[in-house]
């Protein structure tokens, strides 16, 4: 299976799963600010998620359960793309039937799939990046400071790691759809990295080791895509971690031959632009 085929399959399966969870008993309608019914928010969130997967922009807040002007604009664009009547102020059965046909492959999408939608939720455990990355973040920020750093760590590493977190990491999170636990950032004193990988980007504050231990194959591939699109250029593929950095464009593996069900060599070609 080629990488592009895996990407199309995983996103279509995601779309199918989302469709199966929808119970649209009546047409959804746009509301004014401050008038969003609580009983509709879950259903609206599902529709927003689907629209984002299909390549439509539902606004800077992402999936928030509010059928406001940004969501209406996305619904309107979707209707125009697939020849449906009406504007974006209503989402009804014809729109849902079109989405079901997209999920089954009966019709082809007019825009590239994006993957899972950004949402305003909590991080799923573990150490996550400090600052304004989402709601309910928890975990120590010690990984991102010079306290306990290796003597080999560069003086500007703390500034670099903040730029990494606020730049490519934050973009990756928005593309992927949720915060991702970080296992390692600035190189620490007394670790094997000092002797085994003295040229590591961790000494410069430009690298993150991401915890993927709980991710399935589809999520692992989507995370690689999000990281590349966000601007990361160095990739290390492991069983339970994905290393990303902003150093030279390259890749390697930690004694594995496949990652997310795809050959590491194939992913390497993708992240280095040779695919």
Residue that the structure tokens 């019709």 belong to: 107
Written as one string, the DSSP assignment of 214-267 is T--HHHHHHHHHHHHHHT--EEEE-SSEEEEESSSSEEEESS-SEETTEEHHHH
Predicted TM-score (pTM) of the model is 0.57
Please tell me the predicted confidence (pLDDT) of residue 114.
63
Mean pLDDT estimate for the chain: 84
Name residue 27's beta-bridge partners.
Answer: none
CA 139 to chain centre: 20
254-272 b/e (C-beta count within 10 Å ≥ 16 → b): eeeeebbebebebbbebbb
**Which class does domain 142-271 fall in?**
alpha beta
Cβ pair 138, 70 in contact under 8 A: no
The CATH 1.10.101.10 portion of the chain extends over 3-104
Give me the mean pLDDT over the 99-112 stretch: 87
Span 232-268, pLDDT tens digits? 999 999 999 999 999 999 999 999 999 988 899 999 9
Residue 106 has pLDDT above 80, yes or no: yes
pLDDT in the model for residue 82: 95
pLDDT at 223: 93
What pLDDT, on the 0 to 100 scale, is given for residue 116?
Answer: 46
Query: What is the CA 101 to chain-centroid distance, rounded?
Result: 25
**What average pLDDT does range 48-65 have in this prediction?**
84
Domain range 3-104, CATH class: mainly alpha
Stretch(es) of the chain classified as CATH 3.30.1380.10 = 142-271
For residue 225, give every residue at least 6 positions away whose Cβ sits within 8 Å of its Cβ, in sequence order, or none: 7, 115, 175
């Amino acid at each position: 299976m080629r990488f592009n085929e895996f990407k199309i399959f995983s996103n279509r399966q995601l779309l199918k799963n989302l469709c199966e969870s929808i119970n649209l008993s009546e047409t959804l309608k746009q509301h004014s600010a401050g008038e969003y019914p609580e009983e509709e928010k879950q259903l609206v969130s599902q529709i927003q998620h689907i629209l984002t997967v299909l390549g439509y922009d539902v606004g800077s807040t992402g999936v928030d359960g509010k059928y406001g002007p940004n969501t209406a604009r996305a619904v309107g664009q979707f209707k125009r793309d697939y020849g449906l009547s009406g504007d974006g102020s209503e989402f009804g059965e014809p729109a849902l039937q079109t989405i079901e046909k997209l999920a089954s492959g009966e019709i082809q999408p007019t825009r590239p799939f994006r993957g899972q939608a950004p949402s305003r939720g909590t991080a799923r455990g573990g150490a996550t990046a400090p600052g304004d990355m989402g709601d309910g973040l928890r975990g120590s920020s010690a990984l991102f400071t010079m306290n306990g750093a290796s003597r080999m760590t560069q003086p500007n590493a703390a500034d670099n790691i903040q730029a990494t977190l606020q730049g490519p990491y934050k973009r990756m999170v928005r593309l992927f759809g949720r915060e991702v636990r970080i296992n390692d950032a600035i190189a620490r004193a007394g670790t094997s990295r000092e002797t085994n990988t003295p040229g590591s980007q961790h000494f410069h504050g430009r690298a993150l080791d991401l915890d993927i231990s709980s991710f399935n194959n589809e999520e692992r591939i989507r995370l690689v895509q999000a990281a590349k699109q966000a601007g990361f250029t160095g990739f290390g593929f492991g069983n339970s971690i994905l290393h990303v950095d902003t150093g030279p464009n390259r890749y390697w593996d930690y004694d594995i031959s496949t990652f997310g069900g795809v050959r590491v060599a194939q992913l390497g070609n993708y992240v280095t632009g040779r695919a």
